[in-house]
Structure 1
Amino acid sequence: MTDGPTIQLPQLRDPQLRVLMRTATAKDAVMAAAVLLQAGIETQVCADLPELLRETERGAGALLVSEEMLTGSGATELAAAVATQSPWSDLPVLILARQGADSRAITTAMEGMANVTVLERPIRVASLVSALRSALRARRRQYELRRILEDLNEADRRKTEFLATLAHELRNPMAPLSTALAILKRKPLTSEAARPYYDLMGRQLDHMVRLVSDLMEVSRITRGKIELQLDELALDQVIRGAVELSRPLMDAGRHTLGVHVADASLALKGDGVRLTQVFANLLNNAAKYTPEGGRIDVFVEHDGHGHAVVRVKDSGVGIPSAMLGAIFDMFVQVSGTARAAQGGLGIGLTLVKSMVELHGGTVSARSDGANQGSEFTVSLPLLDHGLRAGAKAGASEATMAVQHRILVVDDNRDAAESLGALLGLLGAQATVAFSGLDALAKAEHFQPSVAILDIGMPGMDGCELARRLRTHPRLHGIGLIALTGWGQPDDRLRIAQAGFDHHLLKPVDVEELAVALQKLDQRGAA
C-alpha cells in the first residue's frame, strides 16, 4: 500500500448501510470515497483486509474491495467471514477486478460467496454508483426482512408465554372443581353441608367463563366485530357497578378502597356493560398487583374541557418505566410481576384500551417504579348537558319464572340432562334429546312451547333442526333459543337466518336465559 493524503469522512448517519471499502491504493480510496459521498453513498475506508472483516461484524450495507486484496488467502478469509452471517443476511460484495482474464482470487471469491458482483476496471463513475445503489437497495430489503423476523419471533415468544399462562390459569380453577367433585362423590352430605362445595364450584366455573369471555372479547375487538349498545349513562353509577364486580377480589386482598366522586351529575354516551367492564378490569388489575392490606383509590373528576377523568391508583408493585408504553399490548405482561398477580391472562388492559377508544376516549398509565404503585387514567367525552333522569348504569337483573314446556337438544348428554334438570327445578316441564332426529320424534308427542338447541351437532345440526321445527304443523309459534359455543358475527347471522329468537353462549347464564324466556312470554301474550 502506498502512502497518500489522510481521508476525512463525515460521521456516518447509518453504519448499517455504509459501504466498507478496501482498494488497491490510498489514492484510489480517496477518489472513490469522494465520488460516492457526492452521490449520497456513505463509505468507510479500511486500512487492510483484517480491518474490513472486523468492521463487517459491526454492520455494513455492502463491501467494495479490489482484486489485489483477495490474493493469497484473502479471498478464502473473506468468504469464510461472509459465511457466518445470519440466515436473513446476504451481504453484497463488489469486486473491482483488473482488466483481462479471470484470476484465481476472483474465482475463489465467487465460489465461496453467493452475492458477488465483479466490476472490471477502469469503470465509469455512473456504473459504480449504479451498482452500489442497487446493492444497498437489496440490503435495505434484507434489513426489513430482519425486522419482520424479529417481530415474528417476539410475537411467537409472547404467544408461547400467553399459552403457558392460559394453561396455568385454566388448571387453577380445575383443581378445586375436581377436589369438590371427589368429595361430593365419596361422602354423603346434607344439603347444608354440601352448600360450601357447590358455592366453590360455582366460583371456579365463573372464573373459567370470565377467562374464555376475555379471549373472545379480544378476538372480536381486534377484528373490529364488536358493537356498542349506546345509552345515556351516569358515570358515578357505572363506577359503583364496577366496584361491586371487583369487591370480592378487594375483600380477598383486604384492600382499603376509596371512591372519590367530585361531581355526581357527570353523564356520557356509552355502553354501560362495556364501561363497567373497563373500570372493573382496572380495579381487578389494581387488586391483583397490590399486596395484601394495600390501598386502592378511584377519583372521578371533570377536566373542565368536556371530558370526565377517572383515575385508578394503587399502592402495588408498580410498573418499570420501560414497560409503560407496552402494557396495553396483546400478550404483554410485566416481567417479574406475573407471580404477584392472583390469576389472569394479562389481556385485561388490552380490553380496557380497546373499549375506551371505541368510546372516543383515551387511557394511559404511570408509575414511579418498582413498589411505588401505579395509576391508570381514563378520559371519556361527556355529554354537553348534565345528568338527565333515567340515565343508566348497565344491565338490570331479571327474575326467573319458568312456565314453559321446554325441549332441550344437545349431543352432549351431560349438557342436555343437566340443563333439563335445572329447568325442571325452576318449574318448567322439560324433556331432552341428543340428536336432531331424536328431537323431531320427541317434539311430535311432547309439543314444546320452547326449544333450546345446540348448534354444532353431528348429522342434523341445530340450524337445520330449527328450520324443521319452525315448519312443523303442530308446533306453530314455538320459541327457539340457540345455546352454543359459536358466537362470532357470522355465526350469529347464520343462526338468526335459521329462525332462532335468541342466541345464548355456553355455559348458560341463568339470568340471560330468564330474559330470553320472559321475552318469549311477552311475545306470546301479545
Structure 2
Amino acid sequence: MRITRRRSAKVFFITLGACLVGVALILGVGWIVLNWRRAWPMVVGIPFFLLLIAGLVLNTIFLVREVRRNERHDSFLNAVTHELKTPITSIRLYLETLQRRTLSEEQRQQFYDIMLADSERLLATVEQVLKAGEVGQRARNQIQAEVDMHALVQECIETTQLRHHLAPESIRFESGDASLLVRGNPDDLRTAVENILGNAVKYSPNGLHAVVRLALEGDAWIVLSVSDEGIGIATAHLKRIFKRFYRVPHRNVLKTKGTGLGLFLVRSIARQHGGDATAQSAGEGKGTTIRLQLPRLLEAVRRPQTN
C-alpha cells in the first residue's frame, strides 16, 4: 500500500511539473508574440520565463528525489528493525527454553553458542548504524596511523571465514611482495574490508567462491579487489549501490539481510582516506567485483637506514 502511494506521488509530481512547464511555455510564447516589437518587455520577460521554467523543473526533480529518499529510509528502517528484532527474539526464545526445561550440558552449550552468535549479529548491526553516522563527521586530518594492508586484509579474511563458517578454500588471497602501507584509521579500514567481504558472502547464495587481490596500481595506489561468483548487479545499479540505504530491488527475492549501509560505508571510508570504491559486474547472475583504491604511503618506501 505504501509503495503504491509513493509511486502515485511520483507520477503526480512529474505530471504536475510537466503541466506547469507547459503552461509557462505557452505564457512565455504569448508574451513574446504580444511584445516582440517592444525591447524592454522582451528583455525582462524572456529571462523571467526561463527562470520560471527552470525553477519548476528543479522543484519537480527535488520532489521526486525526496519521494525516493523516503522510500530508501523506509526500506532502511524495515531492514534495521528486522536485523534487531530477529536476534533479540531468538535470544529470548532460547533463554525461556533454558529457564523452563531441563537440558543436557551438550544442549546448553549449543544454546549458548547460538545466543552468542545472535548477540554478535545484533552488535554488528548496531555498530554499522553508529559507524554510518560517525564516519561522515570525522575530519581527514585525524587519520594518522600507519596501516599494513596485507596484514589487515588477511585478518579480515580470517574473521569473515570464522564468522560465516566458511571453508579455507572459499576465499583465495593474492598479494604481491611490494610494500602495501597506507596512512589511515585501522578500525575504519577494517570495517570497509569486512563489509566488502560480507557483501560477497551475502550475495553468493550457492556458496562463496571469491578471489581477493591486493596489489599496486602504478606507484601511488594500493587496490584491493574482491571478486565473487554470486548473483551480480545490473549495470543500472552499479553506481547507486554506494548510496546510503540503497539496496538493489530484485535482491530481496533472496531474502538477504542488510541495512543498505555496507557499501556506503566502504566508499565514505575510502574517500576519507583520499581514495575511492567502485563496483564492476557483467550483469545479473555473473558475479561482482568491488574495488577499494587507497593512496600508498610513499614514505614507507623509505630510504635505507645508514649506520
Question: TM-score band, normalised by the shorter chain?
Answer: 0.7 to 0.9
Distance 1:256 1:122 in 2: 74
Distance 1:58 1:135 in 2: 10
Matched, 1:156 2:70: yes
Q: How many residue pairs end up in the alignment?
A: 285
Contact preservation (8 Å) 1:333, 1:346: yes
Map Cα deviations across residues 382-440 of structure 1 (whole Å, 9 max, x no partner). 2225579xxxxxxxxxxxxxxxxxxxxxxxxxxxxxxxxxxxxxxxxxxxxxxxxxxxx
Q: Structure 1: give runs of 5+ residues left out of the alignment.
A: 1-54, 65-91, 98-118, 389-526
Distance 1:176 1:96 in 2: 71
Identify if the C-alpha distance between structure 1 residues 179 and 63 changes in structure 2 by more than 3 Å, giving closer, same or farther.
same
Aligned mate of 1:306, from 208, 217, 220? 220
Per residue, is there more strand in 1 or in 2? Answer: 1
Identify if the C-alpha distance between structure 1 residues 275 and 223 changes in structure 2 by more than 3 Å, giving closer, same or farther.
closer
Map Cα deviations across residues 179-220 of structure 1 (whole Å, 9 max, x no partner). 211211111235543122122111111111111111111112
Question: For residues 230-249 of structure 1, what are the structure 2 equivalents within 5 Å?
Answer: 230-249=144-163
Q: Structure 2: give runs of 5+ residues left out of the alignment.
A: 1-17, 303-307
Identify if the C-alpha distance between structure 1 residues 134 and 267 changes in structure 2 by more than 3 Å, giving closer, same or farther.
closer
Which range moves more in the overlay, 378-387 or 206-215? 378-387
Distance 1:296 1:307 in 2: 22
Match of 1:278, SS?
helix
**Aligned match of 2:127:** 213
Structure (1 or 2) with the larger CA radius of gyration: 1
Distance 1:296 1:232 in 2: 27
Distance 2:265 2:36 in 1: 64
Distance 1:204 1:122 in 2: 74
**Aligned match of 1:364:** 278
Aligned mate of 1:288, from 202, 223, 238? 202
Shift of 1:294: 3.6
Shift of 1:133: 3.2
Identify if the C-alpha distance between structure 1 residues 129 and 209 changes in structure 2 by more than 3 Å, giving closer, same or farther.
same
Match of 1:345, SS?
coil
Give the letter for the 1:124 counterpart. Answer: R
Question: For residues 12-27 of structure 1, what are the structure 2 equivalents within 5 Å?
Answer: none
- Normalized against structure 2, the TM-score is what? 0.82
Shift of 1:169: 1.9
**Aligned match of 1:273:** 187
Contact preservation (8 Å) 2:32, 2:42: no
C-alpha RMSD over aligned residues: 3.0
Give the letter for the 1:313 counterpart. Answer: S
Aligned mate of 1:194, from 98, 108, 125? 108
Match of 2:171, SS?
strand
Identity over aligned pairs, percent = 25
Contact preservation (8 Å) 1:249, 1:287: no
Aligned mate of 1:139, from 50, 53, 59? 53
Identify if the C-alpha distance between structure 1 residues 240 and 56 changes in structure 2 by more than 3 Å, giving closer, same or farther.
closer
Contact preservation (8 Å) 1:234, 1:387: no
Shift of 1:229: 5.3
Matched, 1:323 2:262: no
Contact preservation (8 Å) 2:20, 2:56: no
Distance 1:96 1:264 in 2: 69
Give the letter for the 1:168 counterpart. Answer: H
Shift of 1:316: 0.6
Per residue, is there more helix in 1 or in 2? Answer: 2
Aligned mate of 2:25, from 25, 40, 62? 62
Match of 1:63, SS?
helix
Distance 2:31 2:178 in 1: 77
